């Protein structure tokens, strides 16, 4: 069902690209000799898949048995090549017995119908080398963009950390200044009380 749906949506190339370029996933579930793990083979595979986007598919999707693992095993006839039907040749007709007048009648010759030659669509050869190079260039460009995005993300994280540290330092400095002012105020109050007591003693 997945392949039929992807072909109908012209998205099989995008889905398979996402799978193939996910190396951690392919190395986990595919053997070393698989096409998805060989660089040149998977590039060529994707190039061929990309050309399917120009074909319009209308595949049937509502068959419930498509999701069964034994779908094709239960239908062995689907893989067999059926021979073309044999058309029996018509029996010759004895004109003398059934159509005695046929000998006297003048039969006009039948015109032969010209068979139209079917136009064979020629599929242009694909320059696989150029396509593979372009795929490699696109891959490198994506990796470069990904690296730049990661660097930008890291830079923003560092700036955010510096901002938080700076705010914390400002808060601590403000707290220390407030404590210093409170201490000076208390010291001034103590000195004022001492002077007041001293003046009272002198008056006595």
Residue 99 in any domain: the answer is: no
CA 130 vs CA 123, 127, 134, 135: distances in Å: 17, 6, 6, 9
Determine which of 60-69, 122-131, 195-204 has the lowest per-residue pLDDT on average.
122-131
Residues spanned by the domain of 158: 2-77+127-203
List, for residues 23-68, the tens digit of each pLDDT value.
888 888 888 888 888 888 888 888 888 888 888 888 777 776 666 7
Domains in the chain, number: 1
pLDDT value of residue 118:
47
Residue 115 in any domain: the answer is: no
The rounded percent of the chain whose pLDDT value lies above 90 is: 0
pTM equals 0.33
Residue 8 in any domain: the answer is: yes
List, for residues 95-109, the tens digit of each pLDDT value.
444 444 444 444 445
Residue 6 in any domain: the answer is: yes
Q: Are 32 and 38 in contact (CB under 8 A)?
A: no
The rounded percent of the chain whose pLDDT value lies above 70 is: 67
The mean pLDDT of 165-193, rounded to a whole number, is 89
Q: Are 52 and 13 in contact (CB under 8 A)?
A: yes
pLDDT value of residue 106:
45
Residue 83 in any domain: the answer is: no
3-state secondary structure of 188: helix
pLDDT band at 20 (very low <50, low <70, confident <90, very high): confident
């Amino acid at each position: 069902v997945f392949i039929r749906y992807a072909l109908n949506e012209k998205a099989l190339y995008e889905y398979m690209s996402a799978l193939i370029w996910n190396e951690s996933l392919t190395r986990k579930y595919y053997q070393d000799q698989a096409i998805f793990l060989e660089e040149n083979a998977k590039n060529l595979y994707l190039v061929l898949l990309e050309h399917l986007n120009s074909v319009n598919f209308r595949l049937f999707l509502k068959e419930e048995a498509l999701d069964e693992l034994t779908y094709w095993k239960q239908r062995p006839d689907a893989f067999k090549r059926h021979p073309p039907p044999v058309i029996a040749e018509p029996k010759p007709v004895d004109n003398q017995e059934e159509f005695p007048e046929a000998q006297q009648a003048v039969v006009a010759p039948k015109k032969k119908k010209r068979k139209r030659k079917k136009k064979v669509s020629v599929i242009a050869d694909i320059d696989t080398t150029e396509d593979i190079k372009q795929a490699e260039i696109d891959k490198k460009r994506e990796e470069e963009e990904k690296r730049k995005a990661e660097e930008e993300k890291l830079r923003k994280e560092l700036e955010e950390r510096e901002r938080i540290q700076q705010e914390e330092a400002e808060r601590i400095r403000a707290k220390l200044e407030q404590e210093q002012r409170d201490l000076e105020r208390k010291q001034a109050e103590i000195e004022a009380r001492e002077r007041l007591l001293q003046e009272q003693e002198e008056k006595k």
